[in-house]
Structures are given as structure tokens and as C-alpha cells.
A and B are shown apart, each in its own frame.
Chain A
């Protein structure tokens, strides 16, 4: 028994070596955790910064504009462009409205034609005026389809799950 104890003692580490070992392992874990935390912090901080930037752009575009104007006023959203187009179309309609055109006719010294001054003639192949067609060329209409890729909306867990399921499906299809 004594021999056995002596043998054990012969192969045991010195206490200070054990402590060094433990401290090393602890420091390794600590440093690893710090590195991961640092990377995580860096990535999330950048994500947060970009997220805030997007939110500020949304506020700038869809929110209120400063009266003084700003350097970012060139960023005009599609909705505002549509509004400007609608506004210009209305202005054009006013400029060609009945009352304005009548005033222009009067200014030019013209007067409406009555029936007695009209000569009618037969024009072969003449196609009478057709009523208006306002519809643009048909195009696929996608209503409420998301334009944000799923990668920007799913969590890491969801992404991993999705990738695993895709891989499993791939192997399943490849299997004879």
C-alpha cells in the first residue's frame, strides 16, 4: 500500500503547476470569451449603427422636413416623386382647361365655329376619334410582396435551422 502511494506521489503534479494549469485554462476561456464578446459587440454595434441610420433615413424621407432645408433633401422617396408628378399633371390640366383655353382662343381673336360654316366630306379609311385608353401596358402586379431578403429578418437560429433542413433535403434528394 505504501508502495502504491509512493507511486502515486511520484506521478502527481506539483501544486503550483496545477494552479498554473488551472489559471491558464481559466485565462484561455476568459480570453476566448472576451474575444467572442468583443466580436459580438463590434458586430452588434455596427448593426445598431446601421439600423439607426436606416431609421433616420426613413424619418427624413417619410417624416418631416426642416424648413431651412438640409443637405439630404436630394434623397426624395418614390412617393414624393409620385406626388410631384401628380402635382405637375394637375398644373398641366389647368393650363389646358376649358376656361383657360377659351381665354387663349379669345386672345388670339378666334371664335367658335357654327354648323353653317362646316363642310363635310367623305374620307375613305377615316377612323373616328376613339375614347381614351389610360391603362399602361400590362405588367405583373405583385401586391404586398416583401422586398427585404429573409436573411435580414431571420435570427441566427432560424438561419442555421433553415440551412440544416436545406442540406438534409439536398442529401435526401441525392440518395438513390
Chain B
């Protein structure tokens, strides 16, 4: 290297002789060209120009697309291929009874489908699924196999990647399908002819939760059910649907491997603890079913409430649906029968309404327990004549006698003593004519005609006083009478939700007092009157060892052509023990055939219910309680 340097670098101080100036040589070609290459040169230039133009056109096209009207469409198309939408559903909250027994939970079911690209034999898949799901109510029909084959075939033609073939497949059914699949895999590799080797390849599944009711139809009128779309229908399921369902989260899962998609942390739906006691609910349903069988009634209701808090311990209603088989709804509830009669069906209650009339009169001061009324057997009001249930005249009666013998004439007179204005104010204070606000879906409001309404007449004051011409739901009656039963005059809001568990915390709302329509004295006086009258009548409602207060009711049923003579609504309302009321029971039997009278058909049902209730609620007989207190 140094040699080379010395060869070509002239040391300083020395001047190399000036080389002779080279004469310009002849240049037959232009600069950059060499002989024989001119033709190639312009081709290269042309190519360069073409490439340049192509580049320019591409840039122009890119810029044009950026500002073209189709830009958004292209962007959208691009996004469709860059990500997929995945919806994550949180598990639905559970429902428990007051002691923590599961009334509504979740069970595993499977969605079964085919990934078309992996399907080897559509015939095998169609055959296997139709055979395995033969007992599945939704797929048990002729031609299901053909439908599956057609769906897969259509998907193969259209290039669809995935098709759903069955849903709500049970674990047992899926297990059978897996067994079939394994058996097919083990078949020998021989020539299977045109049909091809049987295979369930391409068949896939995905687990998910479905609502499940372990108690089947127990308390179903309270619970409601969850339909195929996952929405609560009727009862608690509908009322608290938003709370229990939680909030599904949609996530765009990116297909770009350089990006990460975070799986969302789902907020589970709230759990609901009911005030319902499973054992009392079961007892109420058994007693009601027996009552219907004995009386031949079309339907009925038993309500059990804690009158001190408004907690509903049982709501039994007929008919009942197994919510695990909610698709039978139309066949179970025929002739417009509501899902829960206790809250959705109003009716004319009859003489149980006299409890409210007497409460209003006592509280108003219009009458006292010893106020005397001479019953002549009839009374005129608003142009109509009111008679007693037996068309008889009962002579001189005090208010106790009027209630004990359930005298329509007497109660009509009592209502007139109160006066229409105050009477209806009391009825409104008792919450009649509007929903109670119970936390169950589909509550009816009933109908209370008021003075001033176009269809109210003076005669209505008379008929309303003994529970005719007024439409109430059983739950309205229970709420109204709770003010008498608890001995405090406070009307408690009926409710079925005891507490709610959400985000790790249990919220238990306090009992709500809806109003105080009557005084403490009125409530206690009326309770004493009704307890005495029940004892005096030797009612079938009485239970040995326990002092109870109660009132029967028999109401004729209104039809478009007037009241029917041969069909009645039989009711009974009672509470106890009188010294320390812990339960309020309301019984309603619709159109009993064995006897039309509430005292004959409804009072024994009340008796049977209370007999079991005192055991289930650990309520000792009055005598035992008294002796224990004396020690």
C-alpha cells in the first residue's frame, strides 16, 4: 500500500513536469453512449419513463381513493377482514329462597355446529345428530336429518365457514355424539362406496349456560322463566331481568398478530335472595292443590305474608308451569289465565272486603263494636235493594254479629254511616285501584270506581261495602289487610326480594310502610272482633291451640249478562296468632263446585295451611307460649 502511495503521491516540494495536453479525441457518440449501445440506451430510458409513469399513476390512484366517495366502504371492508366481533355474556344471577336454597341456577348446554371446511361426510353428520337428538323437543320431527344435510350442503356451495346445527344440546346428548365420533374414527379404512367413510369430522361444539330450575314447578308462578333469547318472562325473572342478566360485552378480536385483544372481565349478574320460604311455598302449593281437588274449583290462590314486614313467604297459584319446559306455556295457560293469579287477576272478592269496610267505619268513628243495627233483611240504596246472603232478617245485631254472620245489609248501612266520600278515601288509602308495586312483573291494578266517575252510582257504595262491584287482586287485599293484621295500622308493601347480592355485597332493603290507613286501636279492635266471631261460628278455619282472626268471603261472578247464580269466588283471609301476629294467609278458590260458600270450601284450606304453617314457622301454641312466659 505504501508502495502504491509512493507511486502516485508526489512529495511536497517537488513539481512533476507538466504532462502534455492531450488532444481532444474524436467523439463520434454523445456523452454516456458507447458504440453499439444507443439502441439499448433509449430502451432503458423508455422503461424508466414507463416505470415512472406507473408509479405516478399508482400514487394518483392512492390519492384519488383517499378522497373518493367509496373510501368509507373500502375502509369498512378492510376492517371486516381485520377483526371479528365476539360477544361475551356474563353468567345470569341465581335466585335463592330466604334460607339460601337455590331456586333458579344455571346448567350447561351446548351449541353444536359444523366447520364446513373440515366436514368430510355431511350424511354422517345429519344422521348422527338427528338420531342423538331424537328426544330433544325442538328437533324431534321428521325431516330434521334432511334439514341438517341441506344446511351443510348450502354452506358448502356458498362458502360459509360455519353453520349452527343444534342448540340447547344437553351434556348427555353431547356425550353420545362424542361416542359416535370416536366409533366412526375407529372404523377400518376400507372402501365404503359412494357413501364414503362415516365421519363426524368438522362437527364442533361450544358450551354455554342455560337457566335451570332445580325445584321444577315449585314456586314457578313467582319465579317466571327465561326464554330462548335469555330474557326473563314473568315473575322475578322479568322484574329483575336487567339486574340478573348482567351486561354483555362486545369485543372486536383483532386478526392482526401484532396486536393483542384483551378478553374483558365480565361483571356477573346480581343474585337475588327471595323472601319466599321453599318449605312454606311447597306446603301452600300442596294445600292449594288438595283444596282444588276437594272443592272442584277451576283455580285458586294461597298467599302467605308476614304482616309485620310485608315479606311474602309463599305465593301459590294455579296452574303451574315447569319453567325448565317453558315452551309448554301455551298449553298450560289456556283461556287467558294469567301466569300468576295472585297479582295479575282481579276479581270481586265478596265478604272478605267487609274487613276493610268495618276498619274504615271503626277508624272513622261511624260505628263502634257495640253499635246496634236492626237487620230487617233488606236495605235500599241508590235505587236498588240489598239482601243478605241467606235472604233472611237477622234482627238486632252489634258490629260483631254483623261480621260474624257476614250481613250485607248491615255492612251497607255501615258504609252509609261512613259516607261515600270518606269511605272511598279509606279504600284509596288501603291501596285499592292501583298496583301494590310488588316486585313481580305483570301486576294488575284492579278497579275501584269513585264518586265522580261516569260509571259510579250511589248503589255502588252499598255493593262495594261487601265486596261486590269492586275488582281487586289477591295481593291488593293482602296488602290492605296487613294494616289490620299487624295490629299497628301500618300497611306494609308486599315484596318478594329480601336481598340482592351484587359486586360482592349483599343489599337488604328495609321493609316499607306504604301508609297508615287506620289507627293501632282500630287494627287491634277489629282483630279482636274477627277472632271472636271466628270462635263464635266454630269455623272450619280454626286451628287447635292457636287464636286466629279471619273472615270468609263468597262473591257472585259478574258476566256480561249479570251476576251468575251458580258460580262464585270463595275466599278466606285470616291471620294469627292474635297475640303476636306472624302470618297473614289469603285463600281464593275460583268457581268451586262442591259448595259455593267460602266458609265451606275456603276456610278448611286456610285451616290446613295454618296447621302446617305453625310447624314450619316454629310457632308454639298460645297455651305453650303462655306457660313458657309464666316460668
Contacts and interface: CB of A to CB of B under 8 A. Distances in A.
**A complexed with B:** yes
Interface of A: 2-3, 6-7, 9-11, 14, 44, 47-52, 54-55, 58, 62-69, 79-80, 82-84, 86-87, 89-94, 96-99, 112-116, 118, 120-122, 128-129, 131-139, 141-148, 152-153
B618 A64 contact: no
A29 to B, nearest CB: 24
Interface residues of B, number: 85
Contacts of A2: 18
B16 A6 contact: yes
A66 B199 CA distance: 13
B200 A80 contact: no
B171 to A, nearest CB: 8
A90 B107 contact: yes
B101 A96 contact: yes
A101 B85 CA distance: 46
Given A58-B253, A98-B279, A11 B208 contact: no
B394 interface: no
Contacts of B259: 51
Interface stretch (B209-217, B331-339, B440-448): B209-217
B182 A11 contact: no
A67 B214 contact: no
Contacts, number: 185
A51 B102 contact: no
B611 interface: yes
A10 to B, nearest CB: 4
A3 B15 contact: yes
Interface string B148-177: 000000000000001000000001000001
B257 A52 contact: yes
A113 B260 contact: no
Most chain B beta-carbon contacts within 10 A, residue among A114, A129, A134: A134
Contacts of A87: 106-108, 171, 209
Contacts of A116: 544
A148 B181 contact: no
Nearest to B627: A120
Given A80-B207, A98-B215, A141-B504, A131 B282 contact: no
A144 B16 CA distance: 85
B260 A148 contact: yes
B185 to A, nearest CB: 7
Given A54-B260, A55-B257, A66-B204, A145 B265 contact: yes
A90 B614 CA distance: 30
Contacts of A121: 628
Contacts of B101: 93, 96
Interface stretch (B4-12, B462-470, B531-539, B548-556): B4-12
A78 to B, nearest CB: 9
Give 5 closest A-B pairs by Cβ, nearest first: A51-B257, A132-B100, A93-B102, A135-B506, A64-B204
B115 interface: yes
B393 interface: no
